[in-house]
Structure 1
Amino acid sequence: MHVDLLIENATILTQDPARPVARNLLVHGGRILAVDADPGLVSPRRTIDAGGATLTPGFIDAHAHSVWFGLTLMETDLGAVRSLQEVYDAVAAASRGAGPDEWIVASGFSPLLLGGLQPDRDRLDQASAGRPVWIKHSSGHACTLNGAALELVARGADLAAPVDGGLVAVDAQGRPTGLLEENAMRLVQDLMLPYPQETIEQALGLASRHYLSEGITSVTDAGIAGGWIGHSRREFAAYQSARDKGLLEVRMQPMMVLDTLHPVAGHADDPAVRTLDGGIRSGLGDEWLHLGPVKIFTDGSLLGATAYMTEEYVGCPHQHGYLQMDPEELRSAALEAYRAGWSLALHAIGDHAVEHAIDIITEAQDAHGRRRMPNRIEHGGVVRPEQLDRIAEAGIVLVPQPRFITEFGDGMAGLLGPERVELSYPARSVLDRGAVLPGSSDRPVAGGRPLDVMQAFAERLTPSGAVYGAAERITPAQALAAYTTGSAAATGTADHKGMLAPGYVADIVFLSADPTAVPASALGSIDVLATMVGGTLRYGAERFSAELRFPSEEGLPAVAR
């Protein structure tokens, strides 16, 4: 039998319960043809000697932001700053050589890493020599402007007017500080957006290539084309163009943001729905690019203390965070989208917001049934035990990000207090209830290298080394499962992704060590040697050059072409 590829001399962690470990596999037509086949019975066109490497299914990040991440690779990086002076220095460096009216755009700023300190608008003016400055916070739920940028915003908006679901921060004298929270960020986005389609395509290309270097073969982009998180109303078109141009080298599942949907009329007997013209809904597309659930923001950010909590934040009297929409408007819009065929992905971090999310999803499922693409709750910064029970019973997927603990855990613990830390970003409690646990990063809010996130799943250590919710630790094997079978189930693709088994896509990661056989503390030190997507080595090919048995296709049987 002629086949495209034989990979041999490997430790293959298939994630298939029927055959958990294998030594070789056959690939044909971009899919796994057989596992542990007798090499003497096939004639592979190419053979790869894995040299004893460990192979796993390609990693699936169930919640990241690809366009946003790609843009950060093009902007001034503030992710490593540890003082306000370093912020000013970075802005000054970016300003050198910039045009007199050119915006200085920076990304990755985290006030939590600076003890909550915010840049001073006047110091930013000095650093930029009067150029407008837009600093995007790593949380994605706030940004900071300098005085020059505020002046430009004020030409078209009243900064003193209240913002529904957002805040323009002011000092004791009522002067805007430059900090814009949640929906108030639209004030600057109205000036700066949309991004050109070519810029979005370039961002996707940069993100895609970076993903491959980390073993990521599939990504769900958790919010495009609308809200404060979108970059253009034509963002999905940019995805399509990027794919046509060969810029997308991994599989993508973008989520449309709720406000991209609108009422669409149908027959008089049809129910009222909220969708896209033509009745487009979740699932449109193919194995390389298809629409995911509709993304719905309920509350804000734990990093910014705007997530909606039942109890107030520690040290912040009467501060509980807030919902971003009126509760009834939120419920009505979500149900209309679900009626139209959209699966739901509700951003909910605080436990009060989680309660709203569970109520909405269960009402939708009770009325219209469950979906092949599961309904989800994104993040789960604080989830009470009885809420986890309801989530498991309803088949809802909770999508936590343990890397937040590694990067921001001390700050989060200070805001939550010890009791709520035990309820924060659960993992083992999800598995113990038989629910799906996916792997995800929320990149670029936090680092997104899957092996680092797996280590965070297993260790749950804050930057200071404190343990954050020890009872929620999981094993390295469970962490690997989260990034493979768990994420495949969460994204509605478990019938063809997440395992190395016959019929599944040949998305494969070559690793320097077995992640299930090392201490948790060593997971992040494992190297990604190569990444294969659809049977093609797209990263690390120089390490595993395939032995070519048939120099050309001439004379090959049709099945081998």
Structure 2
Amino acid sequence: MWRAEAGPLHYLRGHWVREARSELIVSNGRIQQIRPLRPGRDAARSVVLPGFHDSHLHLRAAAAAKLSVDLSASSSIPALLASLRSRAGDFEGRWIRGWGWDESTLKERRAPTIAEIDSVTASQPCALHHRTGKVVILNSAAWRILTDPDSGSNSIEEPLRADAALLQKMPRQPENSVESALADLSCELAAAGVTSVTDATATNTWDDIARMDEWVRRGVVRQRVNALLAFDQVSAVSGSEGGMQTHGTVRVLGAKVAAPADGIAERVRHVRGYGWPVAVHATEPDELEAALAAIEECGPPTWGRDRIEHLGLPLPGHLERIRAGRIAVTTNPAFVTERAQKYRELLSAVEQEWLYPLRSVLAQGIPLAAASDRPVTSATPLGTMAAAVHRRPRAGGAEPLGAEERVTPDEALALVTDRAEVDGSALDRQGGRGSLASNLHLNADLVLLSDDPRRLLEDTKVLATFVGGHAIWGSPEVG
């Protein structure tokens, strides 16, 4: 048995309130008692609050990234190739997989060529996934395996779109390896205080969601899991027109739409034909315009809430239309900090001010949540908070990117905790963003921190994480 003293933080109608210190008694991995301590004792620095939620990530992709050569730190093509060469032996008899390259962080400001990759991979098939997940580079050996020798085509292309039909022929990672990596990922999330996630993968089938349920039931993933379903899978779900779907432990929040701007309207119409809400990927202005026009044409869903994922670069008037449509937004503050150099190089000064807005979204009363988009970033909730407040890399002393879009620490904390309105499960709330004041109980999802997260201290630690009152992170040394 162990005990911990902490000041509870409650989120009540848009404000965080710290109450008198309480004592948590934990035994056999479960909260057994929460009791207020006598007044007059010194205030504890540690706090307990509702568990963090990552509103947009990709579980299988994040696991696959763990099984790949990490290229995200490569600053040049020679460095990238050196990383591949050093790890090639680990993939003997299998495809070499790399993840995380990004031309904007490479000195050459370009992707590696097929010839350059061939120089270190030889006859071993290799696939290198861009950090955004949008494109993949294959080496010559991979092209020879995947293309039909009888087709008469000998052309070898440079980066392929990640949804290219050719890539469906690639062998999948062994399921036991994926599950092992998922367990590691879940542990990392728990250590960061994350108690629930939403898998926003655009290709999720009902079988994929059933597999997520199995991961949760078997303890491979210890967080609560929500998911989005691929737009073309809605028709296959029995009773899809009747309301929010679940598969065991997994709630399905709507259908994911990710397409070029000229293909968004057709997909939104298809989904809305079944009454479902959509979650539309929109990092570019034309994608956002197409999404809003289609949603306005189709009218509201019969259940849940439409979402805009990312909201990378809204133009004047877009936020007003999002508010009018009662649409929620899930965004990524870490994009601004991790890609600051890229945005400063590619965007005008005006565009930089509009980039991934936060303050303007909240000012419109739009439900807003923040997320990591793992594996695109590995941002923790505490790191996401810092990015939302500062909007600049922690190192280097750079000026904020879009300083007017910074939020307060209280607002930033709400972005990684209160998700009910964004998920569409609190549409009838009155008087603001609702209350988490009742969440301190024996069966709650909670995180115990060494300090108040609103202080944004780099040494703030997650001492324990609880899902349904069960500890998924922490040790007897906590108290």
Q: How many pairs were matched up?
A: 464
**Aligned position for 1:313:** none
Q: Distance in 2 between matches of 1:427 and 1:153?
A: 43
Which residues in structure 2 correspond to 1:70-469 (within 5 Å)? 70-96=63-89, 98-99=91-92, 101-115=93-107, 116-155=109-148, 176=156, 178-184=158-164, 186-193=165-172, 195=173, 197-223=175-201, 226=203, 234-261=207-234, 274-279=235-240, 283-285=244-246, 288-299=249-260, 323=261, 326-327=262-263, 330-366=264-300, 371=303, 373-462=304-393, 465-469=398-402
CA 1:418/1:175 → structure 2, altered by over 3 Å: closer, same or farther?
farther
On the 8 A contact 2:5/2:24 being kept in 1, the answer is no
CA distance in 1, matches of 2:77, 2:435: 43
CA–CA distance in 2 between the matches of 1:531 and 1:397? 27
- Post-superposition shift, 1:215? 0.6
**Judging changes above 3 Å, is the alpha-carbon distance between structure 1 residues 453 and 524 closer, same or farther for their aligned structure 2 residues?**
farther
Segment of structure 1 superposing worse, 106-115 or 16-25: 16-25
Instruction: Report which of the two structures shows the higher radius of gyration computed on alpha carbons.
Output: 1
> Does 2:417 match 1:484?
yes
Q: Secondary structure at the match of 2:367?
A: coil
Any conservation in 1 of the 2:23–2:36 contact (CA below 8 Å)? yes
Q: 2:134, 2:466 → 1: CA distance?
A: 35
Amino acid of the structure 1 residue aligned with 2:72: G
CA distance in 2, matches of 1:528, 1:157: 57
Cα pair distance change 1:254/1:204, threshold 3 Å? farther
Q: Give, as a single letter, the amino acid of the residue that structure 1 aligns with 2:10.
A: T
| RMSD, aligned CA | 3.5
Residue matched to 2:22: 24
1:498 offset after TM fit, Å? 7.8
Deviation at 1:471, TM superposition (A): 0.6
* Counterpart contact for 1:511–1:527, Cα < 8 Å: yes
CA 1:203–1:253 in 2, change beyond 3 Å: closer, same or farther? farther
1:121-170 CA-to-partner distances (Å, cap 9, x unmatched) read 1222221232111111110111111121122222279797xxxxxxxxxx
Instruction: Note the alpha carbon deviations across 1:247-304, whole angstroms, 9 max, x for none.
Output: 121001111111333xxxxxxxxxxxx34245387632389421121100133xxxxx
Query: Tell me, what secondary structure is at the counterpart of 1:223?
Result: coil
Given that 1:201 and 1:239 are in contact with CA atoms closer than 8 Å, whether structure 2 keeps it comes out as: no
Task: Return 5+ residue gaps in structure 1 as ranges.
Answer: 41-49, 161-173, 262-273, 300-322, 546-561
SS at match of 2:161: strand
Q: Deviations over 1:478-510 (max 9, x none)?
A: 10011111x232123559x98251587611111
SS at match of 1:292: strand
1:296 and 1:507 mapped to 2: Cα distance?
Answer: 30
Q: Could you list the per-position Cα deviations for residues 305-351 of structure 1 after superposition, in whole angstroms to 9, with x for gaps in the alignment?
A: xxxxxxxxxxxxxxxxxx3xx44xx4343233224242210001111
C-alpha distance in structure 1 between counterparts of 2:137 and 2:256, whole Å: 25
Q: Partner of 1:9: helix, strand, or coil? A: strand
State the alpha-carbon separation in 2 of the partners of residues 20 and 176 from structure 1. 60
Structure 2 distance, partners of 1:280, 1:246, is: 31
Structure-1 separation of matches of 2:111 and 2:98: 14
Q: Could you tell me how far apart the structure 1 residues matched to 2:70 and 2:477 are?
A: 31
How big is the shift at 1:181? 2.8
CA distance in 1, matches of 2:339, 2:464: 30
What is the DSSP-based 3-state SS (H/G/I as helix, E as strand, rest coil) of the residue aligned with 1:255?
strand
| One-letter amino acid of the counterpart of residue 11, structure 2 | Q
The Cα shift of 1:33 comes to 12
Q: Say whether the 8 Å CA contact 1:293–1:345 is kept in structure 2.
A: yes
CA contact (8 A) 2:216 2:223 kept: no
SS in 2 for 1:96: helix
CA deviation vs aligned residue, 1:343-400 (integer Å, no higher than 9, x gap): 210001111111111122233335x55x3x3210001111023100111122111211
TM-score normalised to structure 2 length: 0.86
Quote how far apart the aligned CAs of 1:12 are.
Answer: 1.5
Pair 1:527–1:544, CA change in 2 (3 A): closer
Identity percentage of aligned residues: 28
Distance apart, 1:119 and its partner CA: 1.4
Shift of the alpha carbon at 1:97?
5.2
- Code of the residue aligned with 1:452 in structure 2: it is G
State the secondary structure of the residue aligned to 2:73: coil
CA distance in 2, matches of 1:19, 1:418: 34
- Seen in structure 2, the aligned counterparts of structure 1 residues 27 and 109 have a Cα distance that, compared at 3 Å, is same
SS of the equivalent of 2:128 reads strand
Match of 2:10 among 1, 7, 14: 14
Do 1:147 and 1:178's aligned partners in 2 also have CA atoms closer than 8 Å? no
**1:507 corresponds to which of 419, 432, 445:** 445
CA distance in structure 1 between the partners assigned to 2:380 and 2:80 by the alignment: 25
Decide whether the 8 Å contact of 1:506 with 1:534 is kept in 2.
yes
Contact 2:227 2:251 in 1 (8 A): yes
Aligned partners of 1:380 and 1:216: how far apart in 2?
23
Change (3 A) 1:509 1:407: same
Q: Is the 8 A contact 2:389 2:407 kept in 1?
A: yes
Contact 1:208 1:250 in 2 (8 A): yes
Q: Confirm or deny: 8 A CA contact 2:16 2:410 kept in the other structure.
A: no
Of residues 174-183 and 103-112 in structure 1, the stretch that sits farther from structure 2 once superposed is: 174-183
Give ranges in structure 2 of 5+ residues lacking alignment: none
Give, as a single letter, the amino acid of the residue that structure 2 aligns with 1:258: F
CA shift at 1:523, angstroms?
A: 4.2
Query: Alpha-carbon deviation of 1:199?
Result: 4.5
Cα-to-partner distance string for 1:62-114 (whole Å, 9 max, x where unaligned): 11111111221222211222121221122112222543x52101112222111
Amino acid across the alignment from 1:191: M
**3-state SS in 2 of match to 1:406:** helix
The structural deviation recorded for 1:244 is 2.6
- Contact between 1:348 and 1:377, CA under 8 Å: does it hold in 2? yes
Call closer, same or farther: CA 1:388–1:409 in 2, change over 3 Å.
same
User: Aligned pair in 2 of structure 1 residues 31, 60: CA closer, same or farther (>3 Å)?
Assistant: farther
Counterpart CA distance in 2 for 1:205 and 1:346 is 29
* 8 Å CA contact 1:426, 1:472 repeated in 2: yes
**Structure 2 Cα separation of the partners of residues 183 and 157 of structure 1:** 23
Structure 1 residues 381, 445: CA separation in 2 closer, same or farther (over 3 Å shift)? same
